[in-house]
Amino acid sequence: MAKTTYTHKIPVKALIFDMDGTMIDNMMIHHRAWQKKLKDLGLEMSLEEVKRDIHGVNNEIIRRLFGNRFSEKEIAQIAWDKEAAYREIYVEDITMLPGLQEFLDAAKALKIPMGIGTAAPKENAEFAIEALSLQPYFKTVVHSDMVQRGKPDPQVFEMVAEHLNIKLSESLIFEDSPTGAKAAANGNSKSIILTTTHSASEFSTIPAIQHFMPDYTHIKLSKGIRDLFYIEY
C-alpha cells in the first residue's frame, strides 16, 4: 500500500461536525423518504429536485414548499412521519463513513474539543449517536430543535462553539452540503467538505473551503503548541 503524503496543514482549536452526509452516508435515504412523503401530500418531485431543493430544518422546508397550507400542528406531524420512516429504514444499515472511527479516536487521544451541529431533529441525532456509540467523543450536540434559524445561518455552529468555549472562527467544520458550507462561511469558519452528496463543482462560489474528500481515510491530526492542533491532508 502506498504511503499517504500530507502536504497541507490547517491550524484549529476545535472540530465541529455536521451529521447527515458528513458522518454517515444517509442523504439518499433522506431524499427518498422526502420524495415519498411529498408525493403523499400531492407534490411530485424527482430525486434530483429533492437533492437540489430539500435542505434545512423540516418546518422551514414544509413552509417553503406549501406556504400556509398546513397548520403548525400538521407541519409537526408531517415532519415526524418523515423522520420516523427514515429511522425505520436506516436502523439496520447505519455505519460511519470510512476512516471516521479512527479519526475520532485520534482526536479523542489528542483531547481536541469536538461537537456536532446538525439540522437533524433531536430524535435523529440521538438515534445516530446511540447506534454508533458516539457519546464519548463529543462534548456537545446541537440539533434543529435547539435553534431558531436553520443553515445557511450559522446559529447551529455558533451554539456548538459556545458550548465548546471557543470562537467559531477558530474551529474547522466538516460539512457535505452547499447550505452547510455557506453556514460555516457565514460564521467565519473554515470547512472541509465530504463529497458524499454533492460534487466539488457545486461549492465553487462558497469561500473558506479548505479541502474536498470522499471520506476520512486520507486525513490525520497532530498536536501544535498550547491549545492548537493541525489537520493534515
What type of residue sits at position 25?
D
pLDDT band at residue 1, thresholds of 50, 70 and 90?
A: very low
Average pLDDT over the chain reads 94
What pLDDT does residue 115 have? 98
Q: CA 225, 114, 156, 162 torsion: positive or negative? A: negative
Mean pLDDT calculated for residue range 68-95: 92
Mean pLDDT calculated for residue range 186-197: 97
The 10s digit of each residue's pLDDT in 131-187 is 999 999 999 999 999 999 999 999 999 999 999 999 999 999 999 999 999 999 999
What pLDDT does residue 2 have? 53
pLDDT band at residue 17, thresholds of 50, 70 and 90?
A: very high
What pLDDT does residue 197 have? 87
The 10s digit of each residue's pLDDT in 105-125 is 999 999 999 999 999 889 999
Give the residue among 217, 219, 223 at the shortest CA–CA distance from 7. 219
